[in-house]
Amino acid sequence: MNYNRSLGRDIHIYSAKEPDLVLGGLILASGMTNTNFYAMVEIVFIFTTNFTLRHRSGVVITRDDGPIQPGDYFIVSAGTCATNNEALISSLEAIHPGARDGNFRTSVRDRDRRCVITETPVNERQVECGFRSGINACHIFPIAHNWLWENKNYGRWVKDNIDDESEPSGSINSVRNGILLRSDVHDWFNNYTLSIDPDDGYKIVAFNFDSRFGRSGARLNQAYVQSPDAPSKHLLRLHYRQAVLVNVRGGS
């Protein structure tokens, strides 16, 4: 993640009260809507009252499924607007990282059978012969931060019934904390350049130029995400939130 995320931004965010100070922005990828943009702003900033977004042209943006247009946007609010200083998981020290589990890899591969982003299938012959298939089981919540998983009790999100307090919390190596990704997509997912928004139909969201995969704006198979052992929507939501903070927060 050690690169300047502000480079190449098509969208820049300002406060109407300080119109010369860049507060954030993003690279515009396919499938981003006005509603998505409002949701991102609500993650990156903390408001005391309602707000609207106004394009530099003077047009007030409505919360709808219209595509975001490039340009400068101003936050208009009668109250205060503060940048959310929530820590990034990737910036925290990895204390007592969890151990990788062969059963995790097998379970994720057997469930998914293909890269869930690009839909590239696993080459079963390669796997049978012991060759690397170029498609990897990826932890949604990073195994390096197992201590945080335990401290925050994120294991409750991979239980069969998250409301049942008598059911023990699950392992960071639960199949529900995993997705199968092509190795290059795995890199993008791990550094939050690409994520999945479970609150918009499990939409794939790229935070960089998506010519490499061409899948930004597409959605995961709905039968897949509704299966009992599907990736946890709560863990995907946490990953997406982190991706928004990493890529949208802060000026150039």
Domain extent listing, the chain: 11-83, 91-248
176-222 tens-digit pLDDT: 999 999 999 999 999 999 999 999 999 999 999 876 778 999 999 99
Residue pair 245/43 in contact (Cβ under 8 Å)? The answer is yes
Which range of 87-96, 129-138, 219-228 scores highest in mean pLDDT? It is 219-228
Q: What SS3 state is found at 198? A: helix
Q: What SS3 state is found at 197? A: strand
Quick one: pLDDT at residue 90?
82
**How many angstroms separate the CA atoms of 22 and 44, rounded?**
13
Residue keyed to tokens 């401290």: 151
Quick one: pLDDT at residue 126?
54
Q: What is the mean pLDDT of the chain?
A: 90
Instruction: Give the residues across from 13 on adjacent strands.
Output: 24, 73
Q: Decide if pLDDT at 8 tops 80.
A: yes
